[in-house]
């Protein structure tokens, strides 16, 4: 018989955003997210808030209402005042991988997690993290054990093949040499 501990999979989490403000006097927070569409966090029982690096504590969601495509009002269980909500300001918000994938828009940059970066017919690596910035998206991959940041914008992005889960890029000369 298999040991129950051996059957348990390690839970993977995806960083979906952060708490950027409190709202009202009842302890609501505003979660700024990168899911790419309005969301009421339907089906999500808890969000995970990063208290310390790589330490995610679950907070149960009482209610969630979309504000726009990038923000959602969230009422957390046990957080009943603006003062109580204030401790969550600027904290990162994570979801279990399956929950995040179920909520994200297929065209959102975060949906590229797990895709392969390809340049000139050569596979460079798998996207491990998506960093959204105002004028571009950066993706983190590992090459030869080293962290490499690849910019995705109109000058570098050639195509996205969603069936093959590939992102084709044309990188500036010398970019990879900086990291390697």
* pLDDT range class, residue 8, cuts 50, 70, 90: very low
| Confidence at residue 10, expressed as pLDDT on a 0 to 100 scale | 47
For the domain made up of 4-103, give the CATH fold. Answer: Elongation Factor Tu (Ef-tu); domain 3 (2.40.30)
Average pLDDT over residues 161-178: 93
11 in Cβ contact with 86 (< 8 Å) = no
Tell me the backbone φ, ψ of residue 26, rounded to 5 degrees.
-95, 10
pLDDT tens digits, one per residue of 104-130: 998 889 899 999 999 999 999 999 988
* pLDDT range class, residue 131, cuts 50, 70, 90: confident
Average pLDDT over residues 18-34: 96
pLDDT tens digits, one per residue of 36-55: 999 999 999 999 999 887 78
The CATH 2.30.30.240 domain(s) of the chain lie at: 109-179
Does the domain spanning 109-179 belong to CATH 1.10.3720.10?
no
| Confidence at residue 11, expressed as pLDDT on a 0 to 100 scale | 59
Quote the tokens at residue 26: 């009842």
19 in Cβ contact with 91 (< 8 Å) = yes
The CATH 2.40.30.60 domain(s) of the chain lie at: 4-103
Q: Is 90 helix (H, G, I), strand (E, B) or coil?
A: coil
Average pLDDT over residues 81-97: 94
Flag whether the pTM goes above 0.85.
no
């Amino acid at each position: 018989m298999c040991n129950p501990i051996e059957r348990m999979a390690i839970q993977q989490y995806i960083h979906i955003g952060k708490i950027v403000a409190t709202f009202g006097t009842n302890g609501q927070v505003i979660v700024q997210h990168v899911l790419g569409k309005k969301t009421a966090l339907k089906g999500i029982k808890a969000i995970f808030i990063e208290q310390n690096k790589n330490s995610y504590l679950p907070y149960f969601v009482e209610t969630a209402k979309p504000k726009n495509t990038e923000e959602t009002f969230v009422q957390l269980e046990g957080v009943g005042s603006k003062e109580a909500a204030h401790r969550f300001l600027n904290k990162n918000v994570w979801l279990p991988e399956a929950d995040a994938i179920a909520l994200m828009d297929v065209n959102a940059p975060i949906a590229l997690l797990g895709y392969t970066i390809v340049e000139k017919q050569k596979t460079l690596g798998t996207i491990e993290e998506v960093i959204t910035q105002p004028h571009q998206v950066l993706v983190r991959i590992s090459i030869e054990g080293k962290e490499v940041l690849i910019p995705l914008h109109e000058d570098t992005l050639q195509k996205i093949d969603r069936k093959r889960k590939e992102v084709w890029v044309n990188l500036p000369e010398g970019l990879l040499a900086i990291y390697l």
